[in-house]
Amino acid sequence: MNFDAIVFDVDGVLLDTRRSFTEGVLRAATPHGLGDGWTPAHVEALRLCGGFNNDWDAATALALLGPPTGPAGWNEACRAFRADGGGPRAVMRRTGEESWTRTRAAVVPRFQRLYAGPRAPEVYGVDATEPRGLYESEVALITREELHSLAVPFGILTGRTPGEALLALELLRLDLPPDRIVCDSEERYRKPRPDGLLVLASCLGARRLLYFGDSIDDLQCARNAGAAFAGIAPAESERAARFRHEGAIAVQPAVRDILRSLS
């Protein structure tokens, strides 16, 4: 292996979260007049803009701009967001900062209650209103044994909050030292900023770091940190094509496929 440490994103890499976080984005935005016809593919189009790695931001953007465009006009709207730099700022330039702040304040606790269900007080410090949490639908994409059999040390850089990260570690049955996990606990650790990868590279003693991710923000984070990037994306998807075009060393639908090729 040509790398002396590996860092993994969680969602879409170590865990299948299509029925949790992606569903949460759609359901949290729905009360704002989203209407029918919206699918996970519309969330994917938004994430491809860059700057929407945080699902609370993605849900806010969908709540604000989805109703006036409708599902039919959403892909065209996303192309405009991408040309405008992506992320919340591209939305605020269209709706105003006050509207963004007000809508996000309503969307976030709704998303939290949907995602964590009865564990919402523990995970987020908000009251629980749902009998089940969307997190319960998540599925591990790799085993603990596979991760611990790696020839190099590994860490985790995730856009999850610390509480969400604990749920992921429970499902993966991983018990990692705290300094090998970086969460979205501070603004400086929010991808595509490189700080999280740089902190982990120092902790792991890495000079040649490989980051596994599944989003455009993950790719840009690796680039900003001077790390190599391996992309997880469906075969023949637009995301896979973007990863290849922008320099990923490998692109596969599953993390274990890339790990096998590197061993």
Residue-wise pLDDT tens digits, 205-246: 999 999 999 999 999 999 999 999 999 999 999 999 999 999
Q: Which two tokens stand for residue 1?
A: 């292996």
Q: Which residue, 51, 52, 28, 49, is CA-closest to 38?
A: 28
DSSP-derived secondary structure letter, 153: -
Q: Are residues 23 and 105 in the same domain?
A: yes
Domain check: are 52 and 182 in the same one?
Answer: no
Same domain, 98 and 188: no
Let me know whether 191 and 125 are in one domain. no
Amino acid at 135: Y
Mean pLDDT estimate for the chain = 95
Rounded to 5°, angle at Cα 110 from 104 and 113: 140
By residue range, what is the domain housing residue 237? 5-17+138-262
The answer on 245 and 168 residing in a single domain is: yes
Domain boundary, last residue among 134, 168, 200:
134
Give the CATH number for residue 233.
3.40.50.1000
Question: 111, 134, 157: which is the final residue of a domain?
Answer: 134
Same structural domain, 142 and 12: yes
Residues 67 and 94 in one domain: yes
Domain final residue, candidates 103, 134, 165: 134
Same domain, 219 and 237: yes
pLDDT in the model for residue 263: 66
Q: Is the dihedral of CA 246, 251, 254, 259 positive or negative?
A: negative
Q: Which structure tokens are listed for 21?
A: 């976080």
User: For the chain, how many structural domains are there in total?
Assistant: 2
What global pTM score does this model have?
0.93
* One-letter identity of residue 199: V
Q: Do 146 and 257 fall within a single domain? A: yes
Residues 57 and 167 in one domain: no
Residues 94 and 180 reside in one and the same domain: no
Q: Say yes or no: 153 and 125 in one domain.
A: no
- Establish whether the linkage from the previous residue to 192 is cis, with ω within 30° of 0: yes
Low-confidence ranges of the chain (pLDDT < 50): none
